[in-house]
Structure 1
Amino acid sequence: MLIGVPSEIKDNEARVGLIPTSVHELVHHGHRVMVQSGAGLGAGLTDSDYIHAGAEIVDGPDRIFADSDMIVKVKEPLSEERKRLRPGQVLFTYLHLAPDPEQTRDLIASGAICIAYETVTSPSGALPLLTPMSEVAGRLAPQVGAHALEKSQGGRGILLGGVPGVPAASVVIIGGGVSGTHAATIAIGMGARVTVVDRSADALKRLSAQFGSAISTVYSTRSAIADLLKEADLVIGAVLIPGAAAPKLVTREMIGSMKKGAVVVDIAIDQGGCFETSHATTHSNPTYLVDGVVHYCVANMPGAVARTSTFALNNATLPFVLALADLGWQEALLRDRHLLAGLNVCRGELTCEPVAETQGLVFVDPLLAVQRG
């Protein structure tokens, strides 16, 4: 199989779909890999690194999209990339279709086989290809939130950990899953006063066992969230419904009740965000104000630490890339129901039920779509 790795073109996105060691594995399995010149530079990976691993370096994306059997990316394809996709071509990347009807329409029209990292499952029910980036985003959230709290950034001028005689900042984390747990780890390490809100009693028990008295746990209700936000200095939204749009757990009214200069960080923005006042921002222009509250809603947070994120992502994706290349997309999906769960669009049919429900489109069972080929 010929695998293509284009440069990412999303604002300040420096990650890359495959690292040289992944390329070497694919070449060892008898496959060809084309990498766009400079694609890995943001992650500290040079063209010579890829050449040494056995890749062919090409200028620009034209040959990669025209000739490759499978495109391996990081972020969802932007409009100009979607126009390059062709029928029968495999696209393996993050998609986050639920809040993006335009992308959904374009991918259906392309006739491509589009497999989303974020909906591939594991035998335990986890999301193994989303987890590494959720870990990164969770660990970044207190860091970027602390920066946004600085007065020069529009924040309240509060040090997250405080100093002797001055209280630490109050951090509220909505969602106790992978991102929320990692956010709590860093916020506690920075000395903040941390409260985690979740609707799962099991998650709250796990968090209490893991962190003990270092955090407070609160069962999630609208009233509980509203009360906590009034006193919060930093709120981190870390909720997830696999494949579906994030629920809007924080209303505009709740935002209006917060302290002026408080900060919200919406990790769920890829899936539409969990604050009513959220809209996607970029690393070039990461924040905006609503009712005096600083909003950080960068849609590709892990891109800020491109090298760490790229290597973490490849550790998770490589086995699936190898399976798709070695077996072909149909056989790989038929053999592995967990990889099949990642199939969102197949030859003009929408095969992700949460996306179909969110956008009011026709859902086709992914197994039937694959069997039809």
Structure 2
Amino acid sequence: MRISIPKEIKNHEYRVGMTPAGVRELVSHGHQVKVGVDCGAIIGFSNDLYLNAGAEVETVVEELFDWAEMIVKVKEPQVEEYQLLTSNHCLFTYLHLAPDPKQAKGLLSSNCTAIAYETVTDALGRLPLLAPMSEVAGRMSVQAGAHCLEISQGGCGTLLGGVPGVYPGRVTVIGGGVVGINAARMALGLGADVTILDRSLDRLKELDGIFGPRLKTLYATVDTIEESVISADLVIGAVLVPGAAAPKLVNRQLLTKMKPGSVVVDVAVDQGGCFETTRATTHADPTYIEEGVIHYCVANMPGAVARTSTLALTNATLPFVLELADKGVEAALLANEPLRQGLNVYHGSITHPGVADSLGYQYLSPLSAIQKD
């Protein structure tokens, strides 16, 4: 199969869809690989490393797309990218379509096959391609929040870990999934007073077993969310409904009750965010203030630590890329139900129920779409 790995063009996005080691694996299976010139140079993956791994380096983006059968990326295609897609392409990347009707329309118009990392499942129903970036984002959320709490950043001047004789900062994490558990781990490591909320009692029991009495666990209700948000110095939104828009769990009125200079970090921003006041920001301009509360809502947080993120992402995606390339896209999707859960768009149809429901499109099951074609 002919596989292209373009250079990412989203604002301050330095990750790349495949490491040189990943390319070498693909080439060893008999596949042809082209990479965009300097696609990984800034994170230490030079053109020479890709050439030594067996790839070709392409300087013309249009040629990179025209030549490819499968395109492996990190972030959702930008306008100038999805305009290059056709029915001959399989796009494999993060899509986050639920809050992005413009991108959905562009992918539908292209008639391409689009498989989203964030909705691929495993045999246990987990999200193996979302997990590594959720781990990174969860850990970064505390790092970013702690920085925003500094007076020079407009924060209230609270040190999360405190010092002897002084209370530590209070951190509230809404959501006990992969993002939440990693955020809690980092905040506890700093010495903060941490509360995590979730609606799964089994998950709360699991978290209690992992962290013991150091971590406060609460069943998420309107009351417990309100109480925990109001008392917090830092609130981390870590809610996920696979494929669908994130629920708005913190409204503007509740924000007005938070202390001035407190911070919210919305890791759910890719799916529209779980704060009413969320709007996506970039690493170039990461924060804004609403109701006296600093908002950090960068939509590609792991891009700030792009080398670590790229290595972790390739470890997770490579087996799926190999399966798609070795078997062919349709055959791989028909044979692998967890991979088939990742199919969001297929030749003009929306094939994920969460995306269809969020955007108001008619849903066509992946099996029906493939077999109809």
Match of 1:121 in 2: 121
Q: Any idea what SS the aligned residue of 1:218 has?
A: strand
C-alpha separation between the residues in 2 aligned to 1:73 and 1:110? 17
Q: What is the identity, as a one-letter code, of the residue corresponding to 1:122?
A: D
Query: In 2, are the aligned partners of 1:330 and 1:371 still within 8 Å (CA)?
Result: no
C-alpha separation between the residues in 2 aligned to 1:182 and 1:228? 19
1:168-187 pair list within 5 angstroms: 168-187=168-187
Match of 1:70 in 2: 70
Match of 2:232 in 1: 232
Q: Output one character per residue of 1:260-293: Cα deviation in whole Å (capped at 9) or x when no partner.
A: 0000000000000000000100000000000110
Query: In 2, are the aligned partners of 1:146 and 1:160 still within 8 Å (CA)?
Result: yes
Deviates further, 82-91 or 262-271 = 82-91
Q: What is the identity, as a one-letter code, of the residue corresponding to 1:151?
A: I
Match of 2:350 in 1: 350
Q: How much has 1:42 moved relative to structure 2?
A: 2.8
Query: In 2, are the aligned partners of 1:8 and 1:75 still within 8 Å (CA)?
Result: yes
1:269-284 pair list within 5 angstroms: 269-284=269-284
Query: In 2, are the aligned partners of 1:97 and 1:355 still within 8 Å (CA)?
Result: yes
RMSD: 0.7
C-alpha separation between the residues in 1 aligned to 2:214 and 2:365? 45
TM-score (norm 1): 0.99
Q: Output one character per residue of 1:123-159: Cα deviation in whole Å (capped at 9) or x when no partner.
A: 0110000000000100111000000000111110111
Q: What is the identity, as a one-letter code, of the residue corresponding to 2:353?
A: E
Q: Any idea what SS the aligned residue of 2:162 has?
A: coil
Q: Output one character per residue of 1:190-215: Cα deviation in whole Å (capped at 9) or x when no partner.
A: 11000001111011101111000111
Q: Output one character per residue of 1:218-266: Cα deviation in whole Å (capped at 9) or x when no partner.
A: 1101111111111100000001000000000111111111000000000
Q: How much has 1:88 moved relative to structure 2?
A: 2.4
Query: In 2, are the aligned partners of 1:155 and 1:262 still within 8 Å (CA)?
Result: yes
Q: What is the identity, as a one-letter code, of the residue corresponding to 2:74?
A: V
Match of 1:201 in 2: 201
Query: In 2, are the aligned partners of 1:22 and 1:314 still within 8 Å (CA)?
Result: yes
Match of 1:260 in 2: 260
Q: Output one character per residue of 1:298-352: Cα deviation in whole Å (capped at 9) or x when no partner.
A: 0000001000100000000001100111111000000101100000000111101
Quick check: 1:153 aligned with 2:147?
no
Query: In 2, are the aligned partners of 1:88 and 1:347 still within 8 Å (CA)?
Result: no
Structure 1: gaps (5+ residues)? none
Q: What is the identity, as a one-letter code, of the residue corresponding to 1:136?
A: V
Query: In 2, are the aligned partners of 1:16 and 1:43 still within 8 Å (CA)?
Result: no
1:37-56 pair list within 5 angstroms: 37-56=37-56
Q: Any idea what SS the aligned residue of 1:245 has?
A: coil
Q: What is the identity, as a one-letter code, of the residue corresponding to 2:134?
A: S
Match of 1:131 in 2: 131
C-alpha separation between the residues in 1 aligned to 2:73 and 2:273? 23
1:1-373 pair list within 5 angstroms: 1-373=1-373
Query: In 2, are the aligned partners of 1:145 and 1:263 still within 8 Å (CA)?
Result: yes
Q: What is the identity, as a one-letter code, of the residue corresponding to 2:165?
A: G
Q: How much has 1:57 moved relative to structure 2?
A: 0.4
Percent identity over the alignment? Answer: 57
Aligned length: 373
C-alpha separation between the residues in 2 aligned to 1:346 and 1:96? 15
Q: Any idea what SS the aligned residue of 2:49 has?
A: helix
Q: How much has 1:43 moved relative to structure 2?
A: 2.3
C-alpha separation between the residues in 2 aligned to 1:350 and 1:125? 21
C-alpha separation between the residues in 1 aligned to 2:321 and 2:234? 38
Q: Any idea what SS the aligned residue of 1:344 has?
A: strand
C-alpha separation between the residues in 2 aligned to 1:44 and 1:199? 42
Q: How much has 1:372 moved relative to structure 2?
A: 2.6
C-alpha separation between the residues in 2 aligned to 1:7 and 1:216? 43
Q: Any idea what SS the aligned residue of 1:228 has?
A: helix
Q: How much has 1:370 moved relative to structure 2?
A: 1.3
Q: How much has 1:359 moved relative to structure 2?
A: 1.2
Q: Any idea what SS the aligned residue of 1:12 has?
A: coil
Q: What is the identity, as a one-letter code, of the residue corresponding to 1:65?
A: F
C-alpha separation between the residues in 2 aligned to 1:371 and 1:26? 28
Q: Any idea what SS the aligned residue of 2:76 has?
A: coil
Moved over 6 A (4+): none
Query: In 2, are the aligned partners of 1:15 and 1:42 still within 8 Å (CA)?
Result: no
TM-score (norm 2): 0.99
C-alpha separation between the residues in 2 aligned to 1:43 and 1:134? 20
Q: What is the identity, as a one-letter code, of the residue corresponding to 1:301?
A: M
